[in-house]
Structure 1
Amino acid sequence: MSSLRGQANHGLYLARLLLRAWRRDLAAEDIPASVLAQAYGPAVRGHLLDAYGWFLLDLQKPAQLPATPPHSVTSLPPVAPGKAVPVEIAEFARLEQRGWLAELVQEPGAEQPRRSADSLAAPAANLPDPDSLQALAQQLDDAFTQAGDFLDEC
């Protein structure tokens, strides 16, 4: 396994750790679900995006790695002259536009919700719930496995 694939798997692992903590905190019912969504949702999404970016870099194998992983196909470094773009990259670009990856790569609503006068916490607007993020993590894991198996056969 390449170090980039290892980074991708580590990102998935971190996202799953946060998802377990989120579910544990939801079950405790000490903190409102909307506040937990604000605390955990962006962090889980960030780990999933990093995992996806490291995976894309592993597929592309650029000559120079960026300092941080890209969060979409459009943010990948340019392909070296004479080198073909892997077909998997084109498929992921399609999925980012109108597929299961669209939910992950599109920024949640830019509108910042207003706080009520008696609360320091703003309501969670357009933040995914742990179930939808868990499903995205599983789809990423499946995609990593499928592409990895394909590349191993080549």
Structure 2
Amino acid sequence: MSSARARANHGLYLAKIQLSGWRRALAAQDIPAVTITQAFLPAVREHLLAAYGWFLLEVSGSEQLTGQPPRGCAGLPDIAAGRAVPGEIREFHQLETQGWLAEIVSDHEVPVRATPMQGNLAVAAPELTGCERAQQWIDNLEALFDRMSNSLDEY
């Protein structure tokens, strides 16, 4: 396993730890759920974004293993002359434009919906992105890493 893949796995692991802490904090019910989500969601997302960046470096065959990983395909080092862009990178680029991966790599904050308090009708408009959504991100990213690692191992 390469150093980039090991760092990607470590990022997934850290995201899972954050998600576990998030669930414990919600279960304690001593802090409003929206506040807990505001605390944990950005941390989970950052760990997943780092994991994704390290995996991009792995797939692209880049030697850049110092500093921060790219935050998407646009941040990858240029492909060497005469070398084709890997199909995996093209697939990632497409996923970055829509759907679950776009939510992770977006520069925008992921919206959190607040539940109205008793007798208060004011609610933030966007839908909640909570533990279940973060778990989906982790599962999807892990499945994508596994599938693409298997295809890379075949070469």
Name the TM-score class by shorter chain: 0.7 to 0.9
What number of residue pairs does the alignment pair up? Answer: 143
Give the structure-1-normalised TM-score: 0.85
Q: Specify the alignment match of 2:74 in structure 1.
A: 74
Decide whether aligned partners of structure 1 residues 79 and 42 sit closer, same or farther in structure 2, where only a CA change above 3 A counts. Answer: same
Between the two proteins, what is the percent identity of the paired residues? 50
- Give the letter aligned to residue 129 of structure 1: G
Structure 1 segments of 4+ aligned residues over 4 angstroms from their partners: 123-127
Gaps of 5+ in 2: 112-122
Q: Larger deviation: 63-72 or 34-43?
A: 63-72
Give the structure-2-normalised TM-score: 0.84
* TM-aligned CA deviation for residue 15 of structure 1: 0.2
**Contact 2:49 2:104 (C-alpha < 8 Å) held by counterparts:** yes
**Contact 1:66 1:77 (C-alpha < 8 Å) held by counterparts:** no
Q: Specify the alignment match of 1:107 in structure 2.
A: 107
Counterpart Cα distance in 2 of 1:90 and 1:66: 24
Gaps of 5+ in 1: 112-122
**Contact 1:18 1:44 (C-alpha < 8 Å) held by counterparts:** yes
Q: CA RMSD in A?
A: 2.1
Does 1:130 find its partner at 2:128?
no
Q: Specify the alignment match of 1:10 in structure 2.
A: 10
Q: Specify the alignment match of 2:23 in structure 1.
A: 23
